[in-house]
Amino acid sequence: MIKNSKSHKKCELDRQIKSFCDFLIFEKHFSNNTVASYSRDLLIFKEYFDQNKDKNFLTLNHEDILAFLENLYNFYIESSVSRLLSCLRSFYKFLLREDIVKKNPFAEIKNPLKPKNMIEILDVDETKNFLDRLPHATKLETRNKAMFELIYSSGMRVSEIINLKLNDIDYEENLIRCIGKGNKERIIPAGETAIHYLKVYIKSARLELQGKKSAKSSEFVFLNKNGTKITRQGFWKIMKKYAKQLNLNKNIYPHLFRHSYATHMLERGADLRIVQELLGHSSISSTEIYTNINRKFIKDSFFRHHPRK
């Protein structure tokens, strides 16, 4: 009898997780990447209950949550715990809405404070050094050059770069139509250098890569050597390869260029709200983290602009 009760709890959690993910897809219209992220976090939550069969996800109390958090900190860093807590807060908000639970046990649980000034960036010279040293002799090198010029010039996410389509580029106005998180559309400018290398790539190297592939695969801008859409993992591997070849001392990863893009814009006087729009942040607080990176810039800005120094 006890065994059946435990099995029932496990099946019920599986069912509610599926219902929640369906809700995110069909009612909230979240992107596949976002839903996949929620699913991964909820799998961690589910595995905890698989290992602690005396716990019931429907009747969690404060002590249960503390035990869960203690377990999390054995395996995950603060940012991962913070993300997972946000996911669980949304999950239980959904359960409350569906009248599955009577209260949201995570509503009063605060996320761990993120350490300040931990965002890495490349300075302007380091960014220029990386981009200028990129080879572009072969078709794959030409593609890579266009990708990396664009990611820094536009501040786009990797998911946005790999899903970019040919008809999303306005060459006359140097604008890019971008579909970001939550399937939100934004129009962002790209610099002359990025647009130049995009044109070079699309007119020559891309035609060779596409070959005789279907029309469906040909709508995407950046293709792999097989003529299909490049993947997130493929993008990552290419960047790591160049970081090694160019003997760069810093840890190079795709989001580093988005961080650098935002920081460099703000350092040169761009309005915070404009940078928020360009990055596709739904909240200004997400953009404000970039104002904490360069303390010297903030100090210099103060002495330049304050009327009573």
Positions marked catalytic: 157, 181, 255, 258, 281, 290
Distance of CA 5 to the CA centre of its chain: 39
User: Residue 31: how many CA atoms within 13 Å on its side-chain side?
Assistant: 13
The residues with which 178 forms a beta bridge, in sequence order, are 186
User: Rounded to an integer, what distance in angstroms lies between the CA atom of residue 86 and that of residue 104?
Assistant: 12
3-state secondary structure the chain: CHHHHHHHHHHHHHHHHHHHHHHHHHCCCCCHHHHHHHHHHHHHHHHHHHHCCCCCHHHCCHHHHHHHHHHHCCCCCHHHHHHHHHHHHHHHHHHHHCCCCCCCCCCCCCCCCCCCCCCCCCCHHHHHHHHHCCCCCCHHHHHHHHHHHHHHHHCCCHHHHHCCEHHHEECCCCEEEEECHHHCEEEEECCHHHHHHHHHHHHHHHHHHHCCCCHHHHCECCECCCCCECCHHHHHHHHHHHHHHCCCCCCCCHHHHHHHHHHHHHHCCCCHHHHHHHHCCCCHHHHHHHHHCCHHHHHHHHHHHCCCC
Which pair of tokens denotes residue 39? 């699913």
